Amino acid sequence: MPRSMSSRLKTLTARLSALRGWRADVAAMLGGAISAVALPPIFALPALLIGIPVLLCLIQGAPGPAVAARRGWWFGFGLHLVGLYWITEAILIEAARFWWLVPFAVPGLAAVLAVFIAVPAAVAWWAAGGWPAALTLAGAWVLGDLARQFVATGFPWNPLGSVWEFPGRLGDIMIQPASLIGVHGMTLATILLAATPVLDRAWRLGGLALLALWCGFGIIRLDQKTPPGPDLTILLIQGNVAQGQKWDQAMMVSIFRHYLALTRQAVAQANGHPAVVVWPETASPALLQTDAPARAAIADAAGGATALVGSVRFDAAGRPRNSLFALGATGLIEAIYDKWHLVPFGEYQPDWLPVGVQVVPGGGFAPGPGPRTLTIPGIPPVGALICYEAIFSHQVVDEADRPDWMINITNDAWFGNSSGPRQHLAAARLRTVEEGLPLLRAANTGISAAFDSKGHELGRIEMQTTGILPVHLPAPVLMPLYARVGLVLPAGAAVISLVTGLYSSWTRRRRFRANFCIS
C-alpha cells in the first residue's frame, strides 16, 4: 500500500493497541457490532476488514490474557447483539406474558455466545504480533464455533463463513468451498482474509491469491454438468398464517381449509405431473397421528400425490413431538420424522435449568432420535429437517443412509420480517453445498425457497406472502469431500492454524509485543 496510507494505518493501530480500560472495551464492542453487518442479509463484507483488525490490535495491546479475554468478550457481545436482534420479535408475539424479557433476552444470549470469542482472544494473546496472532485467533475462533455447535445442545447461528452468501451467481461461486471444508473452514479463511489489512505485504498478496483460488474453484465447480433430476415436481405451500393466529382454537378449521385450498391449487398447477405437496412446520392444526378424517382430507386435496405435512404428535409417554408426516394417496401414514435438535427454552426445558424455573410447560417437546432418511413409495429417499436443524453443519442427514434430497419445513413467523428468517435461509443454502444435495424449504410466512445441489436458488416465495412454488426436483451431485469426512476437516485445519501461530510465536513474541500490527 502507499507509504502515507501505511503510515496512517500504523498510527491508528498503535492507538488502538494503547487503549485501556473502558475505552478498549467500547472499541471492542463497536468492532463486533460493525462486523455483524457483514452477515446475511446485508453482506457488507468490508466491515470485517475493520472489525477483525480492531480485535487483533486490542488483543495484542492487552496487558495479559485475562484482559484480552474481556476485550474478546465485548467484541463477541457486540457481534451477537446486532446479529441476533431479531429474537426480540419472538418475545413480542406474546408480549402480555413475556414483556419483561425484552431487555434481557438478546443481551443475555449475546453474553453467553461472547464467551466463545473471549476464549480464543485469550489464546491469541500468547501469540506474537502479525500473522502468528492472526493464525492463532482464526484457529481458536473456529474451535470455539465448533464447540457452540454442541455445548448445551448447540446454537451455531451466524458463523462468519456465511458472509459469502451473496444473492445470485457471485454468491453461488463464493460458497462452493463449503463442499471441501464446510462453513467452519470458510470461517477460518474469512478471519485470515479479514486480518490482512494489519499484516505485511506478503500476507496481503497471499490473501489476494487465496481469493483468486477461491473464485476459480467456485466457477469450475458451478460449471460442471449436473445430471437431470427425476420426473417429480415438489409443490411448496406457504400459507402465510400469522403466529398470533396459528394456535387460535377459533381459527383452526379455517386455517386447515386454507391449506387444503392451496393444495388443490398447487396440484392443479402440476397438471397431472408426478408431484409431492409440502406443508410447513406444524402447519396442520389437526393431530394427524390420530385424526384419520384430517389425513383423508389432505389426501383428497393432494389428488393422489404424496403429502409431507408438519404437525404435532404425542408419543407413548404423552410428550409432544414436532413432526413431519408423509401421507400416501389414501391418507395412510407412510413415514414420520421427529425433530431432534430442539430450540432451548423455545421447545424444551434444558436439564441444567433449576427445577423450580418452568420456562416451557411440562418440559416441552421430546426430541427424536437424530437424522433420518425417509423411504416413501414413489419418491426418492429424502432427508427431513425441521426448522432450527438446518443450521447444524454435517448434522443434517444420515450419512450411512444418504438421501437424494432434503426437505426443510419451518415456521419463522415468530421473527417477523426481520434478518432472522433471512439468516436461517442462508444457513439452509450452505447445507446444500456441504452435502451435495438439493434442498427444498417450505416456510409458514416465508421465505420458502428451493436450491439445487450447488446452492443455486431455483425460486422463492417472499416474506409474508401466500403462495405456491412448484419446483422440478434437482438431482444430487457426487458426494462432496466435506460430506464424506465431516467436521474433522475444519477442526484439523483450525488446530494446524492454532499450533502454527503459537509455535512461530516462541521466537517472535518479544519483537512484536511492543509494536504490533504493521510488520
For residue 448, give the nearest of 468, 419, 431, 434 by alpha carbon.
468
Percentages helix, strand, coil for the chain, rounded to the nearest 5? 55, 15, 35
If you search the block for the grid coordinates 477461491, which residue do you land on? 214
Give first-to-last CA distance, the chain, whole Å: 13
If you search the block for the grid coordinates 381449509, which residue do you land on? 257
- Residue 334: phi, psi to the nearest 5? -85, -30
The residues annotated as belonging to the active site are 281, 339, 387
The partner residues of 385 in beta bridges, in order of sequence, read 408
For residue 274, give the nearest of 296, 308, 302 by alpha carbon.
302
User: Are the C-beta atoms of residues 206 and 507 closer than 8 Å to each other?
Assistant: no
User: Are the C-beta atoms of residues 415 and 90 closer than 8 Å to each other?
Assistant: yes
10 Å Cβ neighbour count for 109?
Answer: 18
Q: Which residues contact 281 (CB under 8 A, 6 or more apart)?
A: 310, 322, 386, 387, 409, 410, 411, 443, 444
Q: Which residues contact 354 (CB under 8 A, 6 or more apart)?
A: none
